[in-house]
Structure 1
């Protein structure tokens, strides 16, 4: 009987350890995937902002259709639901590749407001981008300001 209880206790202990290990591993995977996904979001934002910025700077010819498409995609990327991308515990130092400052979670209202500023600026940019080059240039100021403010407050330095 003692041997049966010991074997049962060992089996339960092994199952608990395996479950805890799986949960920790799954959590690490989810955190890493969230960081990768938000990097992809930022790449989409940067790519479409680059198209618009190139036109605004005269590096590429202004094209209303292309500018509208880029602004539309910029706005879509800025509007991704943040709860799936900005998981608590994925700040810089906790997950490889993350530059997210802990302030994203300790000042979640400020972070939300900063992201909303980009959503607003990118929504306004859709109309401005297709109007003419001067309107596009004016819209770029608000987009750049929104990006910069968020990065200043909520993105850590490169490691």
Structure 2
């Protein structure tokens, strides 16, 4: 299952980017990167609901959500953020220009998310008790990136 999900995400990301590069139309990259963040949010919500006791703990669902987060963390970010796609006037983006100006920092924060996703993956099927600490860890990685590289909501 993990292999298929990883392949499907990678294929979709690659397929979305090819035509847009040639035209300087970054709508495909924007949709792809927003899609990856939506996938992350859905799966973090599943795990967060269990960790907070808002939903019943389900080992299989927790493991599936964690596996998905790891798969998303493996998406190569370069094709998602090409030069020229840093225009904040593009509808629907809150990406700050710091993603391009401080790309090493952005990529380091993305790697931190991947490390935290692997921690959740290791803890997910072990019971609800183990989710809280790793949820805090992954939440911290999201916040660190948002604080630096995402504009506040209007």
Instruction: Return the TM-score normalized by structure 2.
Output: 0.82
2:136 to 136, 141, 145: 141
Q: Say whether 1:95 aligns with 2:90.
A: yes
What count of residue pairs does the alignment treat as equivalent? Answer: 135
Deviation of the 1:95 alpha carbon: 2.1
Output one character per residue of 1:48-81: Cα deviation in whole Å (capped at 9) or x when no partner. 0000000001010011111011000011112211
Q: Distance in 2 between matches of 1:139 and 1:42?
A: 19
Bigger Rg, which one? 1
Deviation of the 1:157 alpha carbon: 2.3
Aligned to 1:81: 76
State the SS of the aligned residue for 1:84. helix
Could you list the runs of 5+ residues in structure 2 that have no partner in the other structure? 1-19
Aligned to 1:54: 49
Q: CA RMSD in A?
A: 1.8
Instruction: Return the TM-score normalized by structure 1.
Output: 0.79
Q: Distance in 2 between matches of 1:92 and 1:116?
A: 24
Q: Say whether 1:64 aligns with 2:64.
A: no
Output one character per residue of 1:74-130: Cα deviation in whole Å (capped at 9) or x when no partner. 111122110111122222524222211111111111101111110000011101111
- Could you list the runs of 4 or more consecutive aligned residues of structure 1 that deviate by over 6 angstroms after TM superposition? none
Deviation of the 1:156 alpha carbon: 1.1
Could you list the runs of 5+ residues in structure 1 that have no partner in the other structure? 1-22
